[in-house]
Structure 1
Amino acid sequence: MDNGASSYRRFLDGDKNALIDIIEDYRRGLVLFINSITGDFCLAEEIAEETFLKLYVDRPKFSGKSSFRSWLYSIGRNTAVDHIRKASKLDEVPVDDFYEVADREDIEQDYIKNEDKKQLLRALEKLNDDYRQVLYLIYFENFSNTETAKIMGRSERQIRNLLYRSKESLRNILEKEGFRYEGI
């Protein structure tokens, strides 16, 4: 996998297979990231598809100021936020109600293999959206604080503070559930 930027340039130059390469390389992580926003895995897949459709139809300009992946995740995050905004205007079911979704795909099951990870995931779902997103981006997707700040539309200082508060909140939830941890 290249950094995605060269595949996107190839796509913009007319190579339709380059978009397929981008989708194959980034779909899984993007869906899981969007799931951290929506709490609904099926909806996250739809929004990820919509994100890739935006690349295909709108062909937004990639300036190279950030990594391709953080740029793509920013588009995905904005698409998810737009979707949530539109849904709230239509008086649809609130996003918080999506946490009870039992229809999970194999991607997520592969990602969560043992009981400790399942308990950790349940604890993460109890966190507010910003806490969950910052933890997911930094610890699951290995984005830097700078990249996370760009994706979430925050300053690096805000991300550091948010990361500290989210880890404290997660630690408190896990301690209440009797989870044994080392160095969270």
Structure 2
Amino acid sequence: MRTDETLYELYWQGEEKAADELVLRHGDILTLYINGYLKDMHEAEDLMIETFALMFARRRPVSGEGSFRAYLYRTARNLAGKTKKKHRILHIGLETLPFEIPSGELPEAGLFNSERNSQLYMALEKLKKEYQEALYLVYFEDMSYREAGKVLGKSESQVTNLVHRGKKSLREILGKEGFEYYDD
């Protein structure tokens, strides 16, 4: 499979199908990422298209594995920031966060999942924006700390600290709500 950076270079060499493949690879996830800022799926879709348009309108400096994706997300983040001055929390897939409720509190799995997700959303709303973003990029976009740093305009060690502090804050908030947070 060709890397994003290879496809981007092929696009600039005249292979327009390379652009289509990049949009297929990243379009849906990028839309969800933008929607986390805007809370408006239609506007997020428009900004996703605008993000790719910017990437394909002028050649960007992408070299090294992961640099295309980092540049793409940074561009999307900047557009979303310009579109909405006051950001809200990122709504992310919560099933993958490592936490559990003390046993025996909710007997039905469906009720448990609903309550768990509700409590986790409320806990995430209480986190600082920078913690939310770092956790989202690292855990849900599967970016390395270095890639997330490129998106956030921070160093790898700064992202490491943000993730650590974000998890610690989330653990404290969930503890106050009666949840047990564990870290594998």
1:53-112 CA distance string (max 9 Å, x none) = 11232333423375322222122222222333xxx4xxxxx444xx6xxxx9xxx7xx56
Distance 1:81 1:26, change over 3 A: same
Distance 1:61 1:160, change over 3 A: closer
Distance 1:63 1:133, change over 3 A: same
State the aligned residue count. 165
SS of the aligned residue for 2:62 comes to coil
Structure 1 stretches of at least 4 aligned residues deviating more than 6 Å after TM superposition: none
1:21-54 CA distance string (max 9 Å, x none) = 1111011222233334444444333322210111
Distance 1:41 1:130, change over 3 A: farther
What is the Cα deviation at residue 128 of structure 1? 2.4
Show the counterpart of 2:178.
Answer: 178
Show the counterpart of 1:91.
Answer: none
Contact 1:124–1:170 (8 Å) recurs in 2: yes
Write 1 or 2 for the structure with the bigger share of helix: 1
How much identity, in percent, do the aligned residues show? 37
Contact 1:34–1:48 (8 Å) recurs in 2: yes
Q: Distance in 2 between matches of 1:170 and 1:112?
A: 13
TM-score, normalising length from structure 2?
0.74
Output the aligned Cα RMSD.
2.8
Contact 2:73–2:151 (8 Å) recurs in 1: yes
Greater Rg by CA: 2
Task: Spell out the pairing of 1:17-96 with structure 2 (5 A cutoff).
Answer: 17-64=17-64, 66-84=66-84, 88=85, 94-96=86-88
SS of the aligned residue for 1:62 comes to coil
Show the counterpart of 1:160.
Answer: 160
What is the Cα deviation at residue 167 of structure 1? 1.0
Structure 1: which 5+ runs fail to align?
89-93
What is the Cα deviation at residue 163 of structure 1? 1.4
TM-score, normalising length from structure 1?
0.74
Q: Distance in 2 between matches of 1:63 and 1:6?
A: 9
What is the Cα deviation at residue 132 of structure 1? 0.6
Q: Distance in 2 between matches of 1:42 and 1:126?
A: 26
Q: Distance in 1 between matches of 2:155 and 2:171?
A: 24
